[in-house]
Amino acid sequence: MSDTKGISTDTAAQASASPQAKHAGAAVKAALAANIGVAVAKLCAAVFTGSSAMLSESVHSIADCSNEIVLMIGGRFSRHRTDGDHPFGLYRAKYLASFVVATLLFFVGGFFSTSEAVKKIVAVLENPALRDANQMELLAAFVVVLISACLEGYGLHSSAKEANERMTRTRTPHMGLYRFWGRTKSAELASVIMEDTLALIGLAFAGIGIGLAIALDDELWDAVGGLLVGLVLIAGSLLLAFKSGSLLIGEAVDKVTRQEIVDAVTSTPGVNRLLNMQTVHMSEDDILLCVKVETSKLDRDFDVQTVDKIEQSVRSALPWYRFEIYVEPDIFRADHR
């Protein structure tokens, strides 16, 4: 909207418009705490047993720890004061961090785990003597898998708790965790939910591979388990890259929020008609809102007052968001909006 006639940049109102969630960022911190313990346990088990599946899982957990650190750095950086080169703030640093996380999952987790598993499969097939499994060592690895699954389950529970809090705070109808993942504008939650889910799926494949290796006395199954873990990481990283990339480019508000904004604007005294509206999430809680309205009077002073009322209506209707609002009073034209 280049020809803006009424503009609101009430920074003070924006700062107080949205209360921070009580547990904001808790999912990332819980995931980091769980993954540090899991990574140490898996790495020790991988060194002790030589399990390919355990090595893949070790790399996965180390990558996850790096990912949580990147997300925390991105979150802190996004709150820094901005300069003139970034007029709408540094909020999207969170989305950039999430995209970096996706690439780390792919290159560090998926590619390395898959390549190592393939090497072991080839070695075992070429030398049948390597197929004999050390069942006691693999049993120890299996125990580590079970303990890791409990810790990763706790991490996913923390993510679900924060997602439910988010839906309650924004008065969003509660939905399943993975439907929420598709709709959320939170880079941190999207990343952590994906990481925890991939971890549990990977542990399931690792556990099955190790279990079959023990039951059939065949190391090949352990290597197959490691290969499946790597492929799961690659598939998950592609999904996360698509999600975080979409957020980084810029997503509009969801349908429910859009309708609430429309209702707030159209119910404002002095507004005859909503001509056009565009929204984009700068972060989970920060929204850029541009609206074009037809007012009931073609009068500058009246239009200024109406713009102020529109701002108040929108912020009152959705107090959990911080808005940067641009309003343009205009005249309705049937052939051009």
pLDDT > 70 in the chain, percent? 89
**pLDDT tens for each residue of 306-320:** 999 999 999 999 999
- Give the Cα separation of 310 and 316 in Å (integer): 10
Q: Mean pLDDT lowest for which of 1-15, 111-125, 187-201, 232-246?
A: 1-15
Q: What ranges make up the beta strands (E) of the chain?
A: 6-8, 271-281, 286-295, 322-329
Extract long-range pairs of 15-18: CB within 8 Å, 24+ residues apart: 15/322, 17/315, 17/319, 17/320, 17/321, 17/322, 17/323, 18/285, 18/319, 18/320, 18/321, 18/322
> How many other C-beta atoms lie within 10 A of the C-beta of residue 237?
25
pTM for the full predicted model: 0.78
Residue 200: its H or E element: helix 187-216
Region 53-58: what's the mean pLDDT? 80
pLDDT score, position 260: 94
- Burial-class residue 11 by CB neighbours within 10 Å (0-12, 13-18, 19+): exposed
**Residue 89: its pLDDT value, please?**
74
**Does domain 254-329 match CATH 3.30.540.10?**
no
- pLDDT tens digits, 232-270: 988 888 898 899 889 988 899 999 899 999 999 999 999
Alpha carbon 1 to its chain's center: 30
Predicted pLDDT of residue 5 = 43
CB 332 within 8 A of CB 296: no
Neighbour-count burial for 263-290, b at 16+ CB within 10 Å, e otherwise: ebbeebebbeebbebebbbbbbbbbbbb
Residue 52 — very low, low, confident or very high, per pLDDT cuts 50/70/90?
confident
Task: Count CA atoms within 13 Å of residue 180 on its CB side.
Answer: 25
What secondary structure does DSSP assign to 120-147, as a single string?
Answer: HHHHHHH-GGGG---HHHHHHHHHHHHH
pLDDT digits (tens, 9 = 90+) for 111-128: 888 888 898 899 888 888
Model pLDDT, residue 14: 41
The pLDDT score that the predictor gives to residue 293 is 93
User: Does 47 have pLDDT greater than 80?
Assistant: yes
Average pLDDT over residues 194-205: 89
| 188 against 15, higher pLDDT | 188
The pLDDT value recorded for residue 18 is: 41
List Cβ neighbours of 120 (8 Å cut-off, separation of 6 or more). Answer: 52, 219, 222, 223, 226
How would you classify the pairing of strands 286-295 and 322-329? Answer: parallel
Distance CA 160, CA 62 (A): 23
Alpha carbon distance 230, 117 (integer Å): 8
Examine the pLDDT at 302 and tell me if it is beyond 60. Answer: yes
Integer Cα distance of 195 and 102 in angstroms: 10
Name 287's bridge partners: 281, 323
pLDDT tier, 87 (very low <50, low <70, confident <90, very high otherwise):
confident
CATH tag for 21-249 (out of 3.30.420, 3.40.50, 3.10.450, 1.20.1510):
1.20.1510
Using a 10 angstrom Cβ sphere, with 0-12 exposed, 13-18 middle and 19 or more buried, the burial of residue 115 is exposed
State residue 82's pLDDT score: 67
Look at residue 336 in the predicted model and tell me its pLDDT.
54
Q: How far apart are CA 224 and CA 236, in angstroms?
A: 18
**According to the model, what pLDDT value does residue 6 have?**
44
Taking the domains of the chain in order of start, what are their residue ranges? 21-249, 254-329
